Structure 1
Amino acid sequence: MTHEHPAGTVDLLAVLGPVVGLVALAAYALAVVASRRRGRSWPLSRSLAWTAGCLTATAAVSGPLATASTMSWTAHMAGHLLLGMLGPLLLVLGGPVTLALRALPVTGARRLSRVLRSRPLRVLTEPSVAAVLDVGGLWLLYATPLLALAHAHPGVGLLVHAHVLLAGHLFSAVMVGRDPLPHRRGTRHLLVVLVLALAAHDVLAKRLYAYGYAPMSMADLPQGAQLMYYGGDAVDLLLAVLVCLRWYRAGGRSGQRQLHLERPRPGPQGVLG
């Protein structure tokens, strides 16, 4: 056995994970209905992306994979990829903020718009800040005793899982989000930050492969580190493709693509419109 959770931690995540997932699915479905009642359709592809994201994130903290992760680093890293990378990307492609703006009453939509223009959100949605919160959080988790502490204390474990999901969501939203943001950096800026984040993620995976994780037994940790390395590269490659796709579509068929590569478009933007 490599790093078994106390029973309280497993039970806490196993219960809260599905509950939060179901609430998120229900809230999204109600928002779709409200949007349609206002005469505004909502793409099925976005609903499917949100549903897949909720299921993916839930599977990372509840069910067979979550149970296996208590005894296997490989399963633990698979959960990390689902909860912190693939799940957040799918949720972002669901366009939840845009849907909320369509579904809320005018007063509520205006309040949400003010939040989107607020100074704290402008700081958080800087690509470099989002990258530090995302990848930096992983370094804090795997390069310090924090992971062992999270396994020993259910409350800490819950906070760690929440951070992994939310930081991954923020990073994906900044890179490829369809929802409005206070500002949107240019393609070159985004790709530079993405490459640096990928490098930091890969260095961390190599560090785990070479040196292990001292506070807890290693067992299949090399295999888990390899999964973290190659799986993270796959998701980041998908992010890069989506960033380039946004640039391509923004440039249209004219000769303006170089302009869009050098300079961001003004105003809130999404990836695919």
Structure 2
Amino acid sequence: MHDTHFLLTDLFFGIPALLAIGVYIGAVIITNRRGRLRKWPWLRTVSFISGVLFAAAAVVGPLSRQSHADFTAHMAGHLLLGMLAPLLIALAAPMTLVMRTLNVHLGRKLSRLLQSSFAGFFTHPIVASILNIGGLWLLYTTGLYSAMHANIWLHIIIHIHVFLAGYLFTISLIYIDPVFHRFSFTYRTVVFIVALAGHGILSKFIYAYPPAGVPTEQARVGAMLMYYGGDAVDLLLIFILFKHWYQSVRLRKYTSVEV
């Protein structure tokens, strides 16, 4: 890709990243000034800013440029953009903050959208898993990976998909924001296990059969990074999911005792 293409992607991704951080901080200031007894947790703000910066690092700047020639760098960007950043942003509860910031009329409209079958479809654990893991299989086992580096708009679209699919997958498993289409902990855990298997098998497939144009050594290092780095992020997801499960069981037992 030429320098003009890099400049275009820097602007395309960099400006929205800065705007997202600015809007989030502005929303925090607004909701804190409304005299609520409970201020917005500062850790959520840190989580959101960190998530956006990690996502931006994958598509803007040195790592993004290096990823076009180095598959290992590309895979590092994938872990940041498709796994770590979505988790950190989900933990920042952006929809909850928006609901607290909007007026009643707009808040009800957003609530109706979140309750719609459209939102329910894309946040279904199975659908989100297919978009996330299935998209990665399509990227690395077809000619799509090579085509992405030759076409600037395809490059942009794929990176947007990687982030959104990672975010939908995350929020389909752990409930931080308000959820109107809920699934049991058992159901989500089973889907998660299958998705983990799909991700792990893909990393081994890449190790044995590198994408077209990727040197074998780079593919092997990138595949190991995908396997072990992905496991590290997944462990965080597992911890949060099981923590919520434990808290739910404990709350039900406490409630039944009180009754």
TM-score of the superposition, structure 1-length normalised?
0.88
Q: Against the structure 1 CA distance between its residues 192 and 6, is the aligned structure 2 distance closer, same or farther, given a 3 Å change threshold?
A: farther
In the alignment, which residue of structure 2 is the partner of 1:65?
A: 63
Q: Which runs of 5+ in 1 are unaligned?
A: 258-273
Q: In the TM superposition, what whole-angstrom CA distance separates every residue of 1:157-192 from its partner, at most 9, and x where no partner exists?
A: 000000000110111111113111222211111111
**Are 1:18 and 2:34 counterparts?**
no
> Are the equivalent residues in 1 in contact too, given 2:146–2:212 (CA < 8 A)?
no
> Are the equivalent residues in 2 in contact too, given 1:101–1:109 (CA < 8 A)?
yes
Equivalent of 1:75, from 73, 76, 84?
73
**Are 1:158 and 2:194 counterparts?**
no
> Are the equivalent residues in 1 in contact too, given 2:63–2:73 (CA < 8 A)?
yes
Q: Against the structure 1 CA distance between its residues 126 and 238, is the aligned structure 2 distance closer, same or farther, given a 3 Å change threshold?
A: same
In the alignment, which residue of structure 2 is the partner of 1:198?
A: 196
Give the whole-Å Cα distance in 2 for the aligned partners of 1:74 and 1:115. 39
In the alignment, which residue of structure 1 is the partner of 2:107?
A: 109
What is the root-mean-square deviation of aligned Cα atoms in Å? 1.7
Number of positions where the alignment pairs a residue of Structure 1 with one of Structure 2: 253
In the alignment, which residue of structure 1 is the partner of 2:170?
A: 172
Give the whole-Å Cα distance in 2 for the aligned partners of 1:256 and 1:124. 34
Q: Per residue, is there more helix in 1 or in 2?
A: 2
Report the Cα offset of residue 11 of structure 1: 2.5
Give the whole-Å Cα distance in 1 for the aligned partners of 2:169 and 2:158. 16
> Are the equivalent residues in 1 in contact too, given 2:145–2:211 (CA < 8 A)?
no
Q: 5 Å matches for 1:1-273?
A: 5-40=1-36, 41-252=39-250, 255=253
Q: In the TM superposition, what whole-angstrom CA distance separates every residue of 1:114-137 from its partner, at most 9, and x where no partner exists?
A: 001101111111111111111111
Give the whole-Å Cα distance in 2 for the aligned partners of 1:17 and 1:111. 28
> Are the equivalent residues in 2 in contact too, given 1:77–1:228 (CA < 8 A)?
yes
Greater than 3 Å deviation, 4+ residue runs? 5-9, 215-219, 253-257
How high is the sequence identity, in percent, across the aligned residues?
A: 43
Give the whole-Å Cα distance in 1 for the aligned partners of 2:26 and 2:113. 22
In the alignment, which residue of structure 2 is the partner of 1:261?
A: none
SS in 2 for 1:233: helix
Report the Cα offset of residue 226 of structure 1: 0.6
Report the Cα offset of residue 218 of structure 1: 4.2
